[in-house]
Amino acid sequence: MKNNIDGFSKLTKEKKIDWIAATYFSEPEKATQLIKSYWNADAKLQQLHDDFIENTITNFYLPLGIAPNFLINGKYYTVPMAIEESSVVAAAAKSAKYWSERGGFKATVFNTEKIGQVHFMFNGNPEKLKTFFTEIKSKFFKDTEATTANMQKRGGGIVDIILVDKTAALENYYQLHATFQTKDSMGANFINSCLEQFAKTLKREAVAHAEFSSAEKDIEVIMSILSNYVQNCIVRVEVSCPIADLAEKNITNPREFAEKMLTAIRIAEVEPYRAVTHNKGIMNGIDAVVLATGNDFRAVEAGVHAYASKDGQYTSLSHAKIENDTFSYWMEVPLALGTVGGLTSLHPMVKLALEMLEKPSAQELMQIVAATGLAQNFAALRSLTTTGIQEGHMKMHLGNIINQFEATPQERTIIEQHFDTNAVSHAAVVTFIENLRK
């Protein structure tokens, strides 16, 4: 049977499923039944989800977990987290509780500016181009007045536009590099609309510019698009306490613990192989909240990892120090987030998540997301430098292994009791289940 098809997008959802089931599954009816079992019983709600993307056939669920007790700038938050990985929510909640008893998280947003660029080629005199840009700069603002009017009412809009000469890197390559303030919206559509108008204005004015030769008038716009590298959209989050206050059940020698944490972070600062995994742990927390609040976690991931490489080598996002018998632990990350527009006004669970967070502004959400990332990082390093990462993670993963073997309630109880006092590994659980069933 052929695996290619023409006109797939024009088929009804039912026909799409029929083709997929018949083409790829030995038991088409079972495949169809599974796909449809994830449909929402509310037809109107299902249609809403169908319309989010193209060629929708069903829903793909992720668990929505809750991490309470986040004390950020003196205010408690209960944080929603959408993620499939075991132990992430538990770790974040544990860290949140731990630091809430030691002063909580302090978070500061330094800036919320975002960047967009018009990339174009100009085969001519650079000085002529600079003069031309200076003469027409005001027209970029004027030609986008209709687009920016509502954003300006909310205190946002176009901050500045500069001409960037990139010919040293690529022959004839220049940019219109624009800075935007989008307030509580992420602003991707707003920025891209402005940029596309800039491109039209640039080409129109070049044709009319008397000082350009006929070749110079032929400016070639390659593309107009926002950047997800948001170096001017930074939030800092930190925790600190006297070293003696670090003590608790698994931290009997707080100074030794603090010094070991410091060394672990310094390893991540100098060793990229470790830094990638170190920062992945931070993103476990960040992505889960970004996803739960209807924001673009792929854009956030790209921007954060680029920021981790800004000095020429990939390095740790989090840092620590011991000073005057005080342990301090902090992180600065770029986060372009929104609390209005996009899925925030459409997806019922996103609206629920934002209401749970008491309808935060974009800046407040940046602080919450960053605090969750730092909490997750602290939890991971704490495990790595004390009991080891696998003990807690595999305890949480035990349920998944039990489910894979479709254990009965009675078997589950026996398995959980056994591994309450024994080390959990996939092999150990499989062996125990096999012996149990003998």
Kindly state whether residue 341 falls inside one of the protein's structural domains: yes
The answer on 269 and 355 residing in a single domain is: yes
Kindly state whether residue 157 falls inside one of the protein's structural domains: yes
Q: What CATH number has the domain bearing residue 139? A: 3.30.70.420
The answer on 250 and 214 residing in a single domain is: no
More confidently predicted of 6 and 436: 6
DSSP 334: E
The answer on 383 and 273 residing in a single domain is: yes
Q: Which pLDDT tens digit goes with each residue over 7-28?
A: 999 999 999 999 999 999 999 9
The answer on 267 and 363 residing in a single domain is: yes
The answer on 242 and 155 residing in a single domain is: no
User: Annotated active-site positions, please?
Assistant: 85, 280, 296, 393
Averaged pLDDT, 83-110? 96
Averaged pLDDT, 36-59? 95
Q: How many domains does the chain divide into?
A: 4
Parent domain of 398: 393-437
Averaged pLDDT, 333-358? 93
pLDDT grade for 341, boundaries at 50, 70 and 90: confident
Last residue of a domain, one of 226, 259, 289: 226
The answer on 416 and 346 residing in a single domain is: no
pTM of the predicted model as reported, rounded to 2 decimal places: 0.88
As a whole number of angstroms, the distance between CA 360 and CA 70 comes to: 14
Kindly state whether residue 55 falls inside one of the protein's structural domains: no
User: What does the pLDDT read at residue 267?
Assistant: 98
The candidate with the shortest Cα–Cα distance to 243, out of 256, 230, 232, is 256
Q: What CATH number has the domain bearing residue 356? A: 3.90.770.10
The answer on 204 and 180 residing in a single domain is: yes
The answer on 371 and 271 residing in a single domain is: yes
The answer on 296 and 197 residing in a single domain is: no
User: What does the pLDDT read at residue 317?
Assistant: 98
Last residue of a domain, one of 167, 200, 226: 226
**DSSP characters over 400-412:** HHHHHTT--HHHH
Q: Which pLDDT tens digit goes with each residue over 228-256?
A: 999 999 999 999 999 999 999 889 999 99
* pLDDT over 70 (residue 388): no
